[in-house]
């Protein structure tokens, strides 16, 4: 930085030249000059992150065996500057090497477009303020070719191709890159819990993204650390020695709780109190992944703390409902949960959890619906469920019950993703009667012993509990802000 006393002796042109020179030499200075509100003195981690990226881009980052690192992973919490730092780094890299072809990819075309516009618009910035330093003042030789300024793909003057932004659903054909950047492929927890989504992203990375990178290229992966089988997890499992990992935890004292704002990565973005408040509201797995970069698989119990009520304290219900998941295959369980709704909570009244045939479960379900005075019954119509629903409705009408509405529907969303993303709502909003472990022992065992990071033998109980939340409750929004 320039001392105040010295600055009075310099002309405006000399000051501009010094700032431009410092920006050429230092990625951090370049980023701070352009976005001083982001790169503040208090956010020391951003200086360290910029210095690491610069060393990586310049070939000065080495492993323990003095071998040059050409693959970098950056895991960090949302809103802490990962993406904006990479936008600045891309501009800075193109300024130093106008021949560098860059390929970037984000979750979808909208997000990849935002990244692309950030790079392009910053490089095309103009100003009438003689005191402001813009990109062309720092890197005058790196100019986007006139008439070739589409935000998704463009070239610098004198180059055939310089930049492409895409996504797993987009195209990468006809291009090749020497710097490949992947920015947050996973949108949310539901996708992180969906094995088919993770598998599809891995296939895209290995079959498409890597095929567009030239030999001796460099890769940067930026991501929230969601799951063991996310892109970061798979790469570290297969080739840990090739990747340098920067892990930014919102709570620097992790796994202990922060004691003050000094324990936080950026307290002006996320204070210790806000961190603790969100920790009490958010699904533990989602919280660990977003803020402290711990894969959700590290949280063992699917339902770590379920609530109970005393039957004598049963409230007055605004509505009584039922959710039934019929048995898909021979060894599956039919799970039918009847429950009353009061104050936004579901109080479990009755459970049928059995592998008996439909000849037995159809009349049994109809009887419970009638006895419990269920007003609306939701029955999944997948794999024979519609026939089950029609049979139950017929039995109800034959018994003189005309008050229970039976609604069957097709469930098309990924089951595992639904279950995992609604687990906290089940813990917070579904209340079980005292002694339910003896009333429905198999149901109790399957629900309370289930883990998140294991393959479930039967998921019928979890599916039905998830359905209770989805169909009847107003779930709290656990958005990461």
Sign of CA pseudo-dihedral 82, 167, 71, 145: negative
pLDDT value at residue 53: 98
Q: Is the pLDDT of residue 361 over 90?
A: yes
Burial of 186 from C-beta contacts in 10 A (0-12 / 13-18 / 19+): buried
DSSP structure string for 152-213: SEE-BTT-S--EEEE-TTS--TT--EEEEEEE----SHHHHT-HHHHHHHHHHIIIIIGGGE
Q: What is the mean pLDDT of residues 136-150?
A: 88
Q: Among 83-97, 164-178, 398-412, which range has the highest average pLDDT?
A: 83-97
The two tokens of residue 287 are 């919280």
Which of residues 7 and 108 earns the better pLDDT score? 108
- 117 CA to centre of own chain: 22
Stretch (H or E) spanning 272: helix 272-281
Which pLDDT score, from 0 to 100, does residue 349 have?
98
* Residue 480 pLDDT greater than 60, yes or no: no
Mean pLDDT over all residues of the chain?
Answer: 90
Indicate if the pLDDT at residue 215 is higher than 90: no
**For residue 449, is pLDDT > 80?**
no
How far apart, in whole angstroms, are the C-alpha atoms of residue 159 and residue 434? 72
DSSP 8-state class, residue 151: S
At 2, the pLDDT band (50, 70, 90 cuts) reads very low
- On whether the CB atoms of residues 185 and 235 are closer than 8 A, the answer is no
What's the pLDDT at 144? Answer: 93
* Mean pLDDT, range 93-116, rounded to an integer: 92
Domains and CATH numbers, the chain: 4-248 (3.40.50.300), 307-472 (3.30.420.240)
Identify the pLDDT of residue 479. 35
3-state secondary structure of 425: helix
pLDDT for 159 beyond 90? yes
CA–CA distances in Å: residue 341 to residues 21, 320, 349? 67, 6, 10
Least confident of 146-160, 238-252, 262-276: 146-160
**What mean pLDDT comes out for the span 302-324?**
93
pLDDT of residue 99: 96
Q: Higher pLDDT residue, 140 or 478?
A: 140
- Is the pLDDT score of 3 beyond 60? no
Mean pLDDT confidence for 355-378 = 96
Tokens of 127: 């100003």
Q: CA–CA separation, 429 vs 348, rounded Å?
A: 11
- Identify which has the larger pLDDT, 261 or 281: 261
When pLDDT is averaged across residues 422-430 and rounded to a whole number, the result is: 93
The whole-number pLDDT of residue 149 equals 60
Closest CA to 142 of 86, 101, 99: 99
Report the C-alpha gap between 42 and 337 in whole angstroms.
Answer: 53
- Calculate the dihedral angle through the C-alpha atoms of 236, 283, 252, 71, rounding to the nearest 10 degrees: 20
DSSP for 283-321? -HHHHHHHHH---GGG--BSSS--EEE-GGGPPPPSEEE
pLDDT tens readout for residues 220-234: 999 998 888 899 999
What pLDDT score does 5 carry? 46
Tell me which of 1-15, 169-183, 325-339, 355-369 is least confident.
Answer: 1-15
In this structure, of 119-123, 298-302, 377-381, the range with the lowest mean pLDDT score is 298-302
Looking up tokens 């479930």 gives: 456
pLDDT band at 443 (very low <50, low <70, confident <90, very high): very high
* Residues 143, 99: Cα–Cα separation, whole Å: 12
pLDDT bin (cut points 50, 70, 90) of residue 104 is very high
Query: How far is Cα 91 from Cα 139, in angstroms, rounded to an integer?
Result: 9
Cis peptide preceding 94, ω within 30 of 0: no
Residue of 33 and 196 predicted with greater confidence: 33
Environment class of residue 13 by beta-carbon count within 10 Å: exposed (0-12), middle (13-18) or buried (19+)?
Answer: exposed
Give just the sign of the alpha carbon dihedral 389, 392, 393, 394.
positive
Of the candidates 252, 247, 259, 346, the residue with the CA atom closest to the CA atom of residue 295: 247
Three-state DSSP state, 445: helix
Q: Work out the average pLDDT over 321-344.
A: 91
Tell me, what's the pLDDT at 450?
81
Percent helix, strand and coil across the chain, each rounded to 5? 45, 20, 40
When pLDDT is cut at 50, 70 and 90, the band that residue 187 belongs to is: confident
Q: What is the pLDDT of residue 454?
A: 61
């Amino acid at each position: 930085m320039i001392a105040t006393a010295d600055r009075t002796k310099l002309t405006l042109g000399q000051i501009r030249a010094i700032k431009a020179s410092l920006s050429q030499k230092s990625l951090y200075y370049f980023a701070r000059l352009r976005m001083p509100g982001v790169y503040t003195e208090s956010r020391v981690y951003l200086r360290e992150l910029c210095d690491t990226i610069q060393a990586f881009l310049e070939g000065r980052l080495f492993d323990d065996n003095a071998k040059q690192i050409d693959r970098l992973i950056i895991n960090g919490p949302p809103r802490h500057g990962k993406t904006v730092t990479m936008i600045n780094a891309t501009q800075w890299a193109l300024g130093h090497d106008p021949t560098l072809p860059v390929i970037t990819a984000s979750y979808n075309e909208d997000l990849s477009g935002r990244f692309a516009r950030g790079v392009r618009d910053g490089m095309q910035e103009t100003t009438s303020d003689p005191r402001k330093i813009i990109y062309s003042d720092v890197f005058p030789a790196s100019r986007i070719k006139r008439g070739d300024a589409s935000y998704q793909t463009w070239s610098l003057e004198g180059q055939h191709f310089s930049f492409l932004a895409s996504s797993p659903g987009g195209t990468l054909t006809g291009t090749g890159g020497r710097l490949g950047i992947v920015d947050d492929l996973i949108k949310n927890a539901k996708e992180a819990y969906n094995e088919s989504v993770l598998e599809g992203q891995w296939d895209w990375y290995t079959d498409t993204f890597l095929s567009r990178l030239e030999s001796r290229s460099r890769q940067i992966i930026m991501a929230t650390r969601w799951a063991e089988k996310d892109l970061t997890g798979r790469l570290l499992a297969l080739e840990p020695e090739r990747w340098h990992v920067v892990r930014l935890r919102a709570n620097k004292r992790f796994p202990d709780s922060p004691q003050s704002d000094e324990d936080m990565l950026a307290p002006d973005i996320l204070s210790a109190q806000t961190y603790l408040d969100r920790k009490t509201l958010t699904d533990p797995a989602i919280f660990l992944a977003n803020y402290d970069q711990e894969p959700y698989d590290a949280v063992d119990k699917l339902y770590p703390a379920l609530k109970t009520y005393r039957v004598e304290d049963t409230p007055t219900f605004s509505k009584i409902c039922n959710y039934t998941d019929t048995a898909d295959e021979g060894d599956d369980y039919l799970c039918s949960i009847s429950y009353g709704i009061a104050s936004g909570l579901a109080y479990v009244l009755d459970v049928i959890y059995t592998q008996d045939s439909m000849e037995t479960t159809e009349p049994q379900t109809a009887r419970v619906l009638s006895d419990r005075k269920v007003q609306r019954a939701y029955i999944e119509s997948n794999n024979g469920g519609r026939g089950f629903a029609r049979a139950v409705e017929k039995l109800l009408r034959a018994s003189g019950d005309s008050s229970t509405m039976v609604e069957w529907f097709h469930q098309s969303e990924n089951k595992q993703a639904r279950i995992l993303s609604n687990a906290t709502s089940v813990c917070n909003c579904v209340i079980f009667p005292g002694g339910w472990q003896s009333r429905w022992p198999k149901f109790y065992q399957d629900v309370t012993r289930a883990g998140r990071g294991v393959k479930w033998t039967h998921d019928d109980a979890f599916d039905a509990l998830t359905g209770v939340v989805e169909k009847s409750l107003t779930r709290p929004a656990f958005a990461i802000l």
